[in-house]
């Protein structure tokens, strides 16, 4: 598989706060994504949950299905229990034609709660990583036997947020646990996404591309805003995330560090579409990704 540009529908409709973009029809999202130059889509809350139906719905707009977020609860469950809980998600993913399972630990996450500042996000102690990593590895091994690649999504407000967390996760998991490199979550979490790409390039299984508005990030950090308040922006202000080329991240450097990567790069811009209209932002993001991929030699 060569590099293909996909998108997540969160620039059109938010998954954590469904009223944000709630009046945007799914067909509008799919048509505009295609107009922007996108070839595939990740799962959004408005999409069908049955794999064959989802595949057909996306195909009407020329999209392949890329994969979708799955919330693990391995801090509470065994790998065997998690695998059983994931049965429907795995079936949907395979039936829709995708081979990636995007996983993130959410059993104690705070990213969906507007009342909690990010300083209160959960953390694992040093001696807890080995046990967690063993369960995640077993889960990834079970998923792999069905032909799916588990790509772990480091995410603000969860146990894997900082560079230290990512290092601990990768140290304590086996080769079948791939890293979903998310440029926006990396930068806001205190990491350089290009550094992460160089360190874990052989285990990067999926890439999310969003940019960061530095001034908003600094304001959110200083005010200890919640994740949702940060991405939506307060008042008329735009949020912390935007499309590639509209913020502080050097995507050419990230792609150069990912030499040898083959797969999807997924456009994201978790914004309020009433403040940041989805189509023009998507067009800007896709254009920037194409330019950065060409400049890096990855495409």
Distance CA 295, CA 290 (A): 9
**Cα 165 vs. chain centroid, distance in angstroms?**
17
Rounded Cα distance between 296 and 91, Å, is 36
Q: What are phi and psi of 180, to 5 degrees?
A: -85, 110
pLDDT at 135: 98
User: Look-up: residue for tokens 């369960």?
Assistant: 135
pLDDT of 1 = 62
If one counts the domains in the chain, the total is 1
User: What is the C-alpha end-to-end distance of the chain, expressed in Å?
Assistant: 11
Q: List, in sequence order, every residue forming a beta bridge with 72; answer none if it has no partner.
A: 105
The answer to whether the CB of 65 falls within 8 A of the CB of 99 is: no
Cα–Cα distance measured from residue 131 to residue 181, given in angstroms and rounded to the nearest whole number: 23
Task: Name 16's Cβ contacts closer than 8 Å, sequence gap at least 6.
Answer: 111, 112, 228
Domain encompassing residue 254: 4-296
**pLDDT, tens digit (0-9, with 9 covering 90-100), for 2-44:** 999 999 999 999 999 999 999 999 999 999 999 999 999 999 9
pLDDT by 10s per residue, the chain, length 299: 699 999 999 999 999 999 999 999 999 999 999 999 999 999 999 999 999 999 999 999 999 999 999 999 999 999 999 999 999 999 999 999 999 999 999 999 999 999 999 999 999 999 999 999 999 999 999 999 999 999 999 999 999 999 999 999 999 999 999 999 999 999 999 999 999 999 999 999 999 999 999 999 999 999 999 999 999 999 999 999 999 999 999 999 999 999 999 999 999 999 999 999 999 999 999 999 999 999 999 98
Burial readout 139-175 (b: 16 or more C-beta within 10 A, e: otherwise)? bbbbbbeeebbbbbbbbbbbbbbbbebbbbbbebbee
Token pair for 264 = 């999807």
Is residue 135 a contact partner of residue 177, using CB atoms and an 8 Å limit? no
Nearest-CA neighbor of 282 among 89, 59, 28, 46?
28
Give residues with Cβ within 8 angstroms of 112, minimum separation 6. Answer: 16, 157, 227, 228
E strand or H helix at 4: strand 4-7
Q: How many residues does the chain have?
A: 299
Pick the closest to residue 287 from 242, 240, 245, 250 (CA basis). Answer: 245
Q: What is the CATH number of the domain that holds 62?
A: 3.20.20.150
Sign of the C-alpha dihedral computed for residues 56, 58, 20 and 114 taken in this order:
positive
Q: Six-digit token pair at 262? A: 């083959």
Label the pairing between strands 241-242 and 211-212: antiparallel
């Amino acid at each position: 598989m060569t590099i293909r540009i996909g998108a997540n529908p969160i620039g059109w409709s938010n998954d954590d706060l469904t009223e944000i973009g709630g009046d945007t029809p799914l067909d509008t999202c799919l048509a505009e994504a295609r107009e922007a130059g996108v070839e595939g889509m990740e799962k959004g809350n408005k999409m069908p949950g049955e794999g064959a139906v989802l595949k057909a719905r996306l195909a009407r707009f020329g999209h392949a299905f890329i994969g979708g977020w799955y919330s693990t609860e391995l801090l509470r469950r065994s790998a065997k229990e998690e695998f059983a809980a994931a049965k429907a998600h795995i079936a949907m993913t395979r039936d829709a034609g995708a081979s990636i399972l995007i996983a993130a630990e959410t059993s104690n996450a705070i990213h969906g709660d507007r009342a909690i500042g990010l300083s209160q996000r959960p953390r694992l102690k040093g001696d807890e990583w080995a046990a967690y990593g063993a369960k995640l590895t077993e889960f990834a091994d079970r998923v792999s036997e069905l032909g799916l690649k588990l790509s772990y999504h480091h995410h603000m407000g969860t146990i894997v947020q900082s560079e230290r967390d990512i290092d601990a996760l990768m140290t304590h998991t086996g080769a079948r646990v791939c890293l979903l490199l998310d440029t926006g979550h990396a930068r806001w979490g205190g990491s350089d996404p290009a550094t992460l790409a160089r360190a874990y390039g052989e285990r990067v299984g999926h890439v999310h591309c969003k940019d960061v508005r530095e001034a908003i990030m600094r304001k959110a950090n200083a005010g200890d805003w919640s994740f949702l308040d940060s991405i939506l922006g307060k008042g008329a202000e735009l949020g912390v995330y935007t499309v590639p080329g509209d913020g502080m991240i050097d995507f050419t450097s990230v792609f150069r560090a990912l030499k040898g990567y083959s797969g999807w790069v997924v456009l994201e811009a978790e914004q309020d579409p009433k403040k940041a209209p989805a189509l023009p932002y998507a067009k800007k993001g896709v254009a920037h990704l194409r330019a950065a991929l060409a400049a890096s030699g990855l495409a």
